[in-house]
């Protein structure tokens, strides 16, 4: 049995030695055919990395403000959430308008975004929005109890 193991090991060594030699000879031949000269003193030129600002726009605030007027409530909600990370008068005004959205998910997202921004101009709008939400929840609770 050990004779078989010795034969397997010997054949494996022959195979890998042949493969290694073939790889070295083939790669040297290929580089000569392509005209590449091997120069170890010169470092390889690195590929230029594209700046991230050229791949995607840096500020998409106006895109999200425009998304608040979309007919799809999901887009309006996502726009509200994304605008919560932005600052500015236009953002606050757009989110205050979004508080009046008929879809509750959108108005809640707008309220959360306004609280994240923390602009004092939004305090009055947020307090009236909270009162409306409280009134709605009381009505829905009363309707639930009556049923």
Q: How far is residue 6 CA from its own chain's centroid? A: 56
* Per-domain boundaries in the chain: 1-33, 77-146
Smallest CA-to-CA distance from 32 within 21, 44, 40, 24 is with 24
- Per-residue pLDDT reduced to its tens digit, 112-126: 999 998 888 888 889
Quote the pLDDT of residue 56: 45
pLDDT in tens, 76-100: 999 999 998 888 888 999 999 999 9
List Cβ<8 Å contacts ≥24 apart for 30-38: none
Predicted TM-score of the model (pTM): 0.56
User: For position 3, what pLDDT does the model report?
Assistant: 84
Digit-coded pLDDT (tens) for 32-79: 887 766 555 656 666 665 554 444 455 788 899 999 999 999 999 999
């Amino acid at each position: 049995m050990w004779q078989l193991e010795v034969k397997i090991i010997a054949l494996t060594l022959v195979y890998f030695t042949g493969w290694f030699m073939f790889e070295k000879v083939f790669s040297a031949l290929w580089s000569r055919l392509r005209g590449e000269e091997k120069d170890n003193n010169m470092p390889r030129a690195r590929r230029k990395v594209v700046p991230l600002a050229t791949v995607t726009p840096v500020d998409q605030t106006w895109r999200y403000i425009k998304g608040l007027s979309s007919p799809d409530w999901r887009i309006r909600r996502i726009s509200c959430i994304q605008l919560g990370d932005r600052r500015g008068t236009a953002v606050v005004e757009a989110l205050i308008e979004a508080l009046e959205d008929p879809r509750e998910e959108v108005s809640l997202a707008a309220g959360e975004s306004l609280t994240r921004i923390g602009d004092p101009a939004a305090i009055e709008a947020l307090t009236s929005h909270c009162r409306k939400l409280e009134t709605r929840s009381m009505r829905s609770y009363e309707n639930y109890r009556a049923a």
